[in-house]
Amino acid sequence: MIQYKSVTKIYGEDVTAVDQVSLDVNEGEIVVLLGPSGCGKTTLLRMVNGLESVTDGDILFNGESIKSLNEIELRRKIGYVIQSNGLFPNMNIEQNVTVVPTLLGWSKEDKKKRFEELMELVGLDAEDYRKRYPHELSGGQQQRIGVIRALAADPPAMLMDEPFGALDPIIRERVQDEFLAIQRELNKTILFVSHDIDEAIKMGDKIALMKDGQLMQFDTPSQILQNPANDFVAQFVGKDRMVKSLTIHRIEQLMERYELLDSSIEKGQIATVSKSSNLRDVLSYILESKQQAVHVVNENDEVIGQVDFALVNQYMIDLAEKDEPVVNP
Amino acid sequence: MGKNVITWTVRVIVYLGLLAFFIWVFSNEYLNHLVENFEEFLVLLRQHIQLVALSSFLAIAVAVPSAIIVTRPKFQRFEGVVSTVVNFGYTIPNMAILALMMGIMGIGFQTAVVALFIYSILPIFRNTLAGIQSVNSNLIDSAKGMGFKPYQILFKVELPNAAYSIIAGIRTAVVINIGATALAYLIGGGGLGNWIFVGINVFDNSILISGALPITLLAITVDLFLRLLERKVVPRGARPSTR
């Protein structure tokens, strides 16, 4: 849906911010642009809706060059969320959320209805917040409003520039989870800028790792973690990259692969983990329980199998050997 | 809490002072001149208000649009030049501007209006400029990114968020203007300054107070009115207490 065709951005005479980057963002995918500050990730994002000009190369939106599209109309079709949420202090929450529908000339009733839908999406009470102003909300609430404002006119694509960067870790995690839940329903095409590897692993279907304006690696989180393309990637993802990659896989995937489902196991003295836990948490539980294995339980707290350290180890080895890309569920 | 106590103490002191002043005025029958010459008072008051209204209106009509223009990306390079000219204008004492304008335009009402107009531009221009420039650049960025057209950014984002500062500038300019208009007498511009200067010349407190007191009351009333206007016009979220 968004295609970069060897895009280059040069500031002034010779400052190259983005150097011949090509990558495709498919429909319904979250692609995270990741890298240290000054790597050109934000510039790359802002070129899509024309906030930065393209020096060389081209960007296609829905197959059409953005140069051939009307800039204002294009921007109204792409949701835009920035780190400091960018809510307008002079407008109340309802006016803020429905700002793009207002630009598009929606009727009052349509806007009101849409506002209520969106507020429900993030679990905020529409009546309670309608007439309040941004400064009366907490950081987490403001960021949620920033996200639903970008969704207001139901754009097919969204650009998110470190949208959760200003939130404290606990709130950030909650807003991330909430956003992923929304995304599972809405299936937007999303370009997401981050400097945080953990956030990128969690949010991204694919990660584009950048350095000095160049694309270092563009792949799924598991591939980036397990097969870093070069030293820079390996260094950026960290020495604990294998441990990080454990978070991508859920225990039920492992059990399906090895056909471990066994409901005959009796619930005993052994610790239990939910089948939707990721492998990193499973290992942590095993360590914590000071036993060799844990029982896996389903939603109804019934034991459906048993896993131990060696199994997890075997699973990771098998995945790496088969070079099998594991896409985020 | 502590801030409130201080505010209230100052307020009470000011009101007590005013009360003492009025008692002094009335016990010496200083307003007799006004009562005895009420017809003339109305003429002078009307002249005074006309001078203030016309020069303030012109100043707003020039200063606000110029500040808007020099904050547009296309014209930003003129901001320094325009600001310097406006600031320089304000460094000339207002008596000197009156004398200067008298030299160019002769004496009379129009000369006074032009001189007062020049003197009112700066506070309005400077506050409008500061107001617009202090609008967070992230807001402009996200407005642009959501597909606002340039005029929509100006009217829906920049001006509403700068409104408090703009109106504060207008308040300052108009209140100063009401006092400065007393000087219009010196170049035959009329207004309540007539009685002040006559009172000074003939050492008659009654004439002086009859001119000065209404000017003070006029300034206080207009300031109050503009404050109410500010409450109406500035959105709740764009007031400084909320930043």
DSSP letters of A183-230? HHHH--EEEEEES-HHHHHHH-SEEEEEETTEEEEEE-HHHHHHS-SS
Chain B residues close to A159, C-beta within 8 Å: 145
Band of the pLDDT at B92, cuts 50, 70, 90?
Answer: confident
Is the pLDDT assigned to residue A23 strictly greater than 90?
Answer: yes
Q: Does A5 touch chain B (CB under 8 A)?
A: no
Selecting from B143, B144, B242 the residue whose C-beta is nearest the C-beta of A89 gives B242
A244-263: average pLDDT = 84
Q: Which amino acid, one-letter code, is at A56?
A: D
Q: Give the pLDDT confidence score for residue A329 in this predicted structure.
A: 38
Listed range (A131-135, A230-234, B82-86, B160-164) with the worst mean pLDDT: B82-86
pLDDT of A221-243, one tens digit each? 988 988 889 999 999 988 888 88
Pairing of strands A272-274, A303-308: unpaired
Domain that holds residue B13: 1-28
A-B C-beta contacts closer than 8 Å: 69
Same-domain status, B12 and B58: no
Selecting from B148, B152, B160 the residue whose C-beta is nearest the C-beta of A90 gives B160
| Alpha carbons A154 and A77: distance in angstroms, whole number | 8
Q: What is the CATH number of the domain that holds B188?
A: 1.10.3720.10
Mean pLDDT of chain A: 89
Assigned token pair, A181: 């839940």
Selecting from A51, A84, A159 the residue whose C-beta is nearest the C-beta of B138 gives A84
Determine the residue among A45, A88, A100 to mutate to test chain B binding: the one whose Cβ has the most chain B Cβ atoms within 10 Å. A88
Q: Give the pLDDT confidence score for residue A324 in this predicted structure.
A: 54
Q: Which amino acid, one-letter code, is at B140?
A: I
| Alpha carbons B184 and B194: distance in angstroms, whole number | 8
| Alpha carbons B208 and B227: distance in angstroms, whole number | 29
Domain at A251-322: CATH code = 3.10.580.10
Same-domain status, B3 and B88: no
CB–CB of A192/A160 below 8 Å? yes
Selecting from A73, A82, A89 the residue whose C-beta is nearest the C-beta of B237 gives A89
Selecting from B136, B138, B242 the residue whose C-beta is nearest the C-beta of A133 gives B242
Q: Does B237 touch chain A (CB under 8 A)?
A: yes
CB–CB of A92/A101 below 8 Å? no
A208-227: average pLDDT = 92
Cβ separation A92–B238 shorter than 8 A: no
Backbone angles phi, psi at A19, to 5 degrees: -120, 100
Listed range (A115-119, A269-273, A277-281, B9-13) with the worst mean pLDDT: A269-273
Cβ separation B138–A49 shorter than 8 A: no
Band of the pLDDT at A182, cuts 50, 70, 90?
Answer: very high
Q: At what angle do helices B109-133 and B79-91 cross, to 10 degrees?
A: 130
The 10 Å Cβ neighbour count of residue B201 is: 10
| Alpha carbons A71 and A93: distance in angstroms, whole number | 26
Cβ separation A72–B136 shorter than 8 A: no
- The interface residues of chain B toward chain A in range 157-196, judged by CB-CB distance below 8 A, are 157, 160-161, 163
Cβ separation B237–A75 shorter than 8 A: no
Chain B residues close to A42, C-beta within 8 Å: none
Å from B3 to nearest chain A CA? 22
Å from B99 to nearest chain A CA? 44
pLDDT of B164-218, one tens digit each? 999 999 999 999 999 999 999 988 888 999 999 999 999 998 999 999 999 999 9
Please choose, from the candidates A195, A206, A161, A213, the residue with its C-alpha nearest in 3D space to the C-alpha of residue A36. A195
Cβ separation A89–B141 shorter than 8 A: no
Q: Give the pLDDT confidence score for residue A328 in this predicted structure.
A: 41
Selecting from A84, A100, A133 the residue whose C-beta is nearest the C-beta of B146 gives A100
The 10 Å Cβ neighbour count of residue B24 is: 11
pLDDT of A73-104, one tens digit each? 999 999 999 988 789 999 999 999 999 999 99
A135-159: average pLDDT = 93
ipTM: 0.81
Q: How much is the CA Rg of chain A, to the nearest whole Å?
A: 22
No. of helices (H) and no. of strands (E), chain B: 11, 0
Nearest chain A residue to B142, by CA: A86
Same-domain status, B11 and B113: no
DSSP state of A267: P
Same-domain status, B36 and B156: yes
Strand order in the sheet with A303-308: A272-274, A293-297, A303-308
Q: Which CATH architecture fits A2-239?
A: 3-Layer(aba) Sandwich (3.40)
Q: At what angle do helices B205-233 and B159-180 cross, to 10 degrees?
A: 170
Nearest chain A residue to B239, by CA: A90
Same-domain status, B17 and B87: no
CB–CB of B169/B127 below 8 Å? yes
Nearest chain B residue to A89, by CA: B237
Cβ separation A92–B243 shorter than 8 A: no
Q: Domain count of chain B?
A: 2
What residue spans define the domains of chain A?
A: 2-239, 251-322
Cβ separation A103–B138 shorter than 8 A: no
Selecting from A75, A90, A159 the residue whose C-beta is nearest the C-beta of B238 gives A90
Same-domain status, B161 and B142: yes
Same-domain status, B24 and B35: no
Å from A132 to nearest chain B CA? 9
Å from B223 to nearest chain A CA? 24
* Residue A88 DSSP SS3: coil
Same-domain status, B156 and B219: yes
B103-122: average pLDDT = 90
